[in-house]
């Protein structure tokens, strides 16, 4: 444990086994919550304090809280895995803790010390370990969230913040994840601009993506893919996932992080895993025109989206305002599956972890 003292656990509860088992039967994604949550508060006078693990329950927040007006809010997403040997582990929680600090700084919020973040996720995972599903591809998704709780109107940074961590048992993010997803290329909407908040994990970015996602669904596509906001040329990322392209020569490519893309933990892991597996990986701009031309000529053979929630999900079809194209055979390709399995094997403890990514809790 990182800091065994910040979060008290004496008020935590345990659900009856039959209640828990019924809730976990078909959890889907993000609608079933475990027995407890972590919570902590910040005030300018006292700093971070009042850390505790308490029963999951509604909050009482005044409508005047700054978050409701000016959207000072950030969050994270990471998973607790059941290991093949019966233990449990987290995957690169330190990377989420660091990103949470960076997001807080961008939103002018009080950063939560990394060791407090780590203790909150570790303690909640251990207390609610019975909520971790065992099937491969399933996990306990942890959602740390922090928001401005000061009761006052006026555009300025809050002097008070609330922090919570929720836990949801989850299966596949996409109902039919193995058959690949279709993307709609958004030309009307941008997700992020230069100097904006694209690289922070703040709720506002997601609110801004919803109209584009609704457009994607009207077009019969699963997800939206965003282009850069200035030239509407360069592929950036999906609403909640990074993107990779796989070429016939076996190499892979992903757009570089330039401030408008979320620096995904999975993206970084794929780049490092590729190097280990002898797959050439580049961080380079890729235009939507080139993507379409390469998919049609056969130079590009696979593409996949990646993120904590969706793991690695192949992209089978891309639709634009005036054209569309299928990628490879329209099925998950060899490189996508190789990377996905290598990642899942490390996360579940089936394979060695040469990177020191896995944080074993039990």
Ligand X SMILES: Cc1ncc(COP(=O)(O)O)c(C=O)c1O
Which residues bind to ligand X, rule: CB under 6 A?
77, 237, 240-242, 262, 264-267, 307-308
| Residue closer to ligand X (CB basis): 52 or 340 | 340
| CA gap 219, 58 in Å, rounded | 36
| Residue closer to ligand X (CB basis): 24 or 265 | 265
Tell me the closest approach of the beta carbon of residue 200 to ligand X, in angstroms.
10
Cα→Cα distances 50→116, 151, 167, 265, Å: 12, 19, 20, 29
| Residue closer to ligand X (CB basis): 76 or 122 | 76
Q: What tokens appear for 28 in the block?
A: 């889907």
Q: Which residue is nearest to ligand X (CB)?
A: 264
Compute φ and ψ for 87, nearest 5 degrees. -80, -175
| Residue closer to ligand X (CB basis): 76 or 160 | 76
DSSP 310-323: TEEEEEEEEE-SS-
| Residue closer to ligand X (CB basis): 120 or 223 | 223
Tell me the closest approach of the beta carbon of residue 297 to ligand X, in angstroms.
28
| CA gap 311, 83 in Å, rounded | 17
| CA gap 231, 199 in Å, rounded | 19
Of 276, 177, 295, 278, nearest to 235 (Cα)? 295
Tell me the closest approach of the beta carbon of residue 114 to ligand X, in angstroms.
16
Tell me the closest approach of the beta carbon of residue 339 to ligand X, in angstroms.
13
Please, which residues bridge with residue 170 across strands? 139
Please, which residues bridge with residue 165 across strands? 38, 144
| Residue closer to ligand X (CB basis): 212 or 241 | 241
| Residue closer to ligand X (CB basis): 23 or 285 | 285
Of 272, 340, 351, nearest to 311 (Cα)? 340
CA atoms within 13 A on the CB side of 310: 26
Tell me the closest approach of the beta carbon of residue 315 to ligand X, in angstroms.
14
Tell me the closest approach of the beta carbon of residue 232 to ligand X, in angstroms.
18
The pairing of strands 181-186 and 223-227 is: parallel
| Residue closer to ligand X (CB basis): 150 or 269 | 269
Tell me the closest approach of the beta carbon of residue 293 to ligand X, in angstroms.
25
Name residues whose C-beta falls within 8 Å of residue 49's C-beta, 6 or more positions apart in sequence: 40, 41, 42, 43
Tell me the closest approach of the beta carbon of residue 87 to ligand X, in angstroms.
23
Three-state secondary structure call for residue 267: helix
């Amino acid at each position: 444990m990182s800091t065994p003292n910040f979060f008290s656990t004496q008020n935590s509860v345990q659900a009856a086994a039959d209640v828990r088992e019924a809730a976990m039967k078909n959890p889907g994604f993000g609608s079933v919550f475990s027995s407890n949550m972590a919570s902590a508060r910040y005030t300018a006078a006292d700093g971070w304090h009042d850390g505790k693990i308490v029963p999951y329950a509604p909050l009482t927040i005044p409508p005047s809280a700054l978050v409701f007006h000016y959207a000072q809010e950030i969050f994270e997403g990471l998973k607790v895995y059941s290991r093949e040997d019966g233990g449990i582990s987290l995957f690169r929680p330190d990377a989420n803790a660091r990103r949470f600090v960076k997001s807080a700084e961008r939103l002018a919020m009080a950063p939560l010390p990394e060791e407090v973040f780590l203790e909150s996720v570790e303690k909640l995972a251990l207390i609610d370990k019975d909520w971790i599903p065992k099937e491969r591809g399933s996990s306990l998704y942890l959602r740390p969230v922090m928001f401005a709780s000061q009761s006052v109107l006026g555009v300025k940074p809050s002097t008070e913040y609330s922090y919570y961590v929720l836990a949801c048992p989850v299966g596949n993010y996409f109902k039919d994840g193995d058959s690949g997803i279709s993307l709609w290329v958004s030309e009307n909407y941008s997700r992020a601009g230069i100097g904006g908040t694209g690289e922070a994990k703040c709720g506002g970015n997601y609110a801004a993506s919803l109209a584009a996602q609704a457009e994607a669904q009207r077009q019969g596509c699963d997800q939206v893919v965003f282009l850069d906001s200035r030239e509407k040329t360069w592929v950036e990322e999906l609403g909640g996932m990074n993107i990779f392209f796989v070429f016939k020569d076996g190499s892979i490519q992903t757009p570089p992080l330039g401030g408008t893309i979320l620096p995904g933990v999975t993206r970084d892991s794929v780049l490092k895993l590729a190097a280990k597996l002898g797959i050439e990986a580049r961080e380079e701009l890729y235009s939507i025109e080139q993507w379409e031309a390469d998919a049609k000529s056969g130079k590009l053979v696979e593409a996949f989206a990646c993120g904590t929630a969706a793991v690695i999900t192949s992209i089978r079809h891309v639709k634009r305002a005036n054209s569309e194209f299928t990628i490879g055979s329209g099925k998950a390709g060899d490189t996508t599956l190789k990377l996905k399995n290598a990642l899942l094997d490390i996360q579940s403890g089936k394979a060695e972890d040469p990177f020191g990514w896995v944080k074993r809790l039990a």
